[in-house]
Amino acid sequence: MKKLFYFIFIINITCFTILNFFDYSNNIINTIENNKVNIAVKKPKNLTNEKYVDKLIRDFKKINTDVMYKRVDNSTKKSHYKYYVTNNTYNFLNLGQGNKIIGSSFFNNTSIYNFKEIKKFNLDICKFYIKKDISHTIIKNLTNMGYSLDEVHYENLDRPFVSIQTMALPFFLLAISMIFYTISKRKEILCKRLMGYSNLNIILEDCINNSKNIILIGLIIEILNLTIVNFIYSNSFWNYFNFTYKKLGVILLCTILILIFVNLVNLLRIEVNYLKGKNENIDIYIITLGTKVIFCLLLIISLTSISKSIISMYSLNKVNLDISKKLKTYVTLPINDSNNSINDFNQLEYNTQFDKFYDETVNKFDGILIDTRDYKRMYETGKLQRQLNDRIIINENYLKINKIHDIKGNLINKERFIKGHLNILIPETISENKIKELYSKMEDININNINIIKYLNGERIYSFSPYSGPNNKGLIDNPIIVIYDKNIFKNQMLNYVSGEYYLLKTKTDNPYDEIKPNLIKYKLDGVIPEVHYISNVFDTFISYIKVHLINDLIKFFVYIVGTFIMLIYSSKIYFSSHSEEISCKRLSGYNFIEVYRTPLIIQVVQIVLFLGLQKYLRMNFYIILIVSLLELFIFSMYSIRYQTKGILNVLKGEK
């Protein structure tokens, strides 16, 4: 059991090391943005960008502080964080000695530029970073200088990978392994008692010896970790060491404290059980059984998530290749309000501007609108049952790319639509009257002003989005299709564009420059600083899934080890506790089910429990079946092993 304890500890440290590296990979951004607040500053209309930026630089120099502007480029698989900074004070970016970027670029790239370079961007209403501890003084000075500004309350929703929540389960597994280890030493402890050892001496001897090994194992793994990181990211050894050593110290200290506590409890239990003459295996078996159920449940959830991620990535890659051929030159227009704020005060204005932008670009760039938000929500929440109000919204250009036929086989096009009516395409199996009644109430339209066209079931309707239908080859099965009408869906274009549901066809190698004049015309270049090809949108989402998959694999590693240990140990304790009963039944000719009725009933109850939890947790039926068969297999192996050795021992009078 000592080897098992050390093995679990190695898993614990390895798990911590990987999660800590993920935190380190986000550390550059966290360091640069630490101790800073956002202010939204409105550019005076009488100043050009060049004069405005020069004025900002002069004024911040007067008050002896710095200002920073951030842009995030998501046009490639890895996000690129670009910081534009003045250089009036030392270490405004918190980069420490040398004032240079050191660290990991595992998740994203980071670059720092001269503040003057922001002249090329839309600066009408910009978000800037200033020092948090002197923010009130800075805001007061800028207000006195005539700037129109507001402090932006921003909460970073990113959570660290190493936290109490993420490390709780590995430590729980470690504590269980310690319990098994200390229980295995009970005979040795009783012998030491007879030899005159005190409780304190017994605890100190065991904890000191194990603590030395714990610290040694932790240091070896950490030195190896530091060496690998320094090899990949040169000159990062001390930077990573400073980021890590305190956390490692906490992990080692917690491990030693748990070991002391488990040893103390074990000594007290030995005294109680010895005085009462109690068989302790039954209590241990019940605890192990409960722990086994928990780990099996977590393993099933983890495997379900992993299988779903792998299937999604495979499916998305195939869809991406297919769509890249159909929509090779089409781009999306992602909203980025990190620098130009969209809020309650200006949202209506932006809605109007986006409506005008759509009217101007829909024919010029063969704009395709396909809003699949309802199906995105279905995918994210795991909702299986579609409702009649779940729909997609398309424009007429979508039907040029994705042809749909009516129940007579005729092509559906804009000539079939009635102007001024709400035009809806529905599958042939859905009631026309139900749809009319529902959408008349939803959109507040006279039921006579709804035009219904039925289309053939099974038509291939592409979402053109990685967020909807990722596991269905990018297809949406028989949706209700509403045709976009700007008079009915007024002030909705901001939502469509922000969800990347509006696609534009470009003709040049620089699509943003091609679309930019239209963005500038309606003052949208500040919130749309870049465009993404459809393939880039898919690549970004696949990268997002990969990050979650890595996190799930780390958890899976802990869960699979915990499950195997619990399955093996619960079987071992069961056969040890019921050896005489099992031997008598086997010798009397009982079959497998009759001998092991109780553990088999427990497993059936466990399966029923897991199947019932499918309504509330994402668990795949086949994975439940596989894990249950694995449990039965391990139990059967122990029964065969016991049959060859255990019965003979009982006949000899041995347990």
Task: Give 354-364 pLDDT, tens digit per residue.
Answer: 999 999 999 99
In a domain, 535, yes or no: no
The verdict on 368 and 459 lying in the same domain is: yes
The verdict on 555 and 477 lying in the same domain is: no
The verdict on 215 and 302 lying in the same domain is: yes
422-427: strand order across its sheet: 450-455, 422-427, 480-483, 391-394, 368-371, 502-505, 330-332, 532-533
Identify the band that residue 523 occupies on the pLDDT scale cut at 50, 70 and 90. Answer: confident
CA distance 58 to 52: 10
Which pLDDT does position 212 carry in this prediction?
94
- Decide if 25 contacts 104 (C-beta within 8 A): yes
- Nearest one of 8, 546, 550 to 302, comparing CA atoms: 550
- Nearest one of 546, 373, 400 to 476, comparing CA atoms: 373
CA distance 309 to 311: 6
Which pLDDT does position 503 carry in this prediction?
95
The verdict on 227 and 371 lying in the same domain is: no
The verdict on 228 and 301 lying in the same domain is: yes
Which pLDDT does position 585 carry in this prediction?
80
Q: Residue 260 pLDDT more than 50?
A: yes
In a domain, 320, yes or no: no
H helices present in 493-620, as ranges: 493-498, 511-521, 534-577, 579-587, 592-595, 597-613
Q: Residue 26 pLDDT more than 90?
A: no
Identify the band that residue 246 occupies on the pLDDT scale cut at 50, 70 and 90. Answer: very high
Which pLDDT does position 365 carry in this prediction?
95
Element (H, E) at 392: strand 391-394
CA distance 104 to 102: 7
What's the pLDDT tens digit per position in 136-150? 999 999 999 999 887
Which has more confidence, 554 or 501?
501
In a domain, 425, yes or no: yes
Token duo for residue 171: 């430590």
Q: Residue 52 pLDDT more than 70?
A: yes
In a domain, 19, yes or no: no
What's the pLDDT tens digit per position in 53-94? 999 999 999 999 999 998 887 767 678 889 999 999 887 887
Which pLDDT does position 219 carry in this prediction?
95
User: What is the SS3 assignment for 509?
Assistant: coil
Percentages (nearest 5) of helix, strand, coil residues in the chain: 60, 10, 30
In a domain, 323, yes or no: no
Q: How do beta strands 368-371 and 450-455 pair?
A: unpaired
In a domain, 232, yes or no: yes
- Decide if 68 contacts 83 (C-beta within 8 A): yes
Token duo for residue 605: 């109850």
- Nearest one of 450, 493, 492, 489 to 362, comparing CA atoms: 493
- Decide if 178 contacts 4 (C-beta within 8 A): no
Highest mean pLDDT among 183-197, 292-306, 357-371: 357-371
The verdict on 348 and 478 lying in the same domain is: yes
Which has more confidence, 650 or 619?
619
Q: How many CB atoms lie within 10 A of CB 563?
A: 25
- Nearest one of 475, 542, 474, 463 to 500, comparing CA atoms: 463
Which pLDDT does position 384 carry in this prediction?
46
The verdict on 385 and 467 lying in the same domain is: yes
The verdict on 239 and 132 lying in the same domain is: no
The verdict on 273 and 142 lying in the same domain is: no
Token duo for residue 271: 């005294």
Average pLDDT value for residue range 623-645: 85
Average pLDDT value for residue range 161-167: 86
Q: How do beta strands 108-114 and 79-85 pair?
A: parallel
Average pLDDT value for residue range 537-549: 82
Residue that finishes a domain, picked among 497, 530, 563: 530
Q: Residue 539 pLDDT more than 50?
A: yes
CA distance 80 to 99: 20
Identify the band that residue 481 occupies on the pLDDT scale cut at 50, 70 and 90. Answer: very high
User: Which range is least confidently modeled, 71-80, 247-256, 520-529?
Assistant: 71-80
36-42: strand order across its sheet: 108-114, 79-85, 68-73, 125-131, 36-42, 148-152
Q: Residue 466 pLDDT more than 80?
A: yes
Q: Residue 470 pLDDT more than 90?
A: no
The verdict on 423 and 458 lying in the same domain is: yes
Token duo for residue 294: 């928990």
CA distance 451 to 417: 7
Count: domains in the chain: 3
What's the pLDDT tens digit per position in 383-407? 544 566 678 999 999 999 999 999 9
Residue that finishes a domain, picked among 530, 564, 596: 530
Q: In whole numbers, what is the pLDDT of the chain averaged over residues? A: 85
- Decide if 585 contacts 598 (C-beta within 8 A): no
Which pLDDT does position 257 carry in this prediction?
94
The verdict on 148 and 169 lying in the same domain is: no
Which 8-state DSSP code applies to residue 120? G
- Decide if 207 contacts 260 (C-beta within 8 A): yes
Which has more confidence, 253 or 90?
253
Which pLDDT does position 216 carry in this prediction?
95
CA distance 293 to 281: 18
In a domain, 21, yes or no: no
What's the pLDDT tens digit per position in 197-240? 887 888 888 899 999 999 999 999 999 999 999 888 888 888 89
Which has more confidence, 551 or 366?
366
Average pLDDT value for residue range 450-455: 94
- Decide if 595 contacts 285 (C-beta within 8 A): no
Question: Which sign does the torsion angle of CA 556, 559, 562, 566 carry?
Answer: negative
Which pLDDT does position 275 carry in this prediction?
47
The verdict on 386 and 512 lying in the same domain is: yes
- Nearest one of 473, 474, 479 to 459, comparing CA atoms: 479
Residue that finishes a domain, picked among 130, 152, 174: 152
CA distance 130 to 559: 44
Which 8-state DSSP code applies to residue 117? G
Average pLDDT value for residue range 505-512: 90
SS (H, E, C) 125-161: EEEEEEECCCHHHHHHHHHHCCCEEEEECCCCCCCCC
CA distance 571 to 294: 16
Residue numbers of the domain that contains 35:
31-152
In a domain, 328, yes or no: no
Which pLDDT does position 527 carry in this prediction?
85
H helices present in 26-124, as ranges: 27-33, 49-62
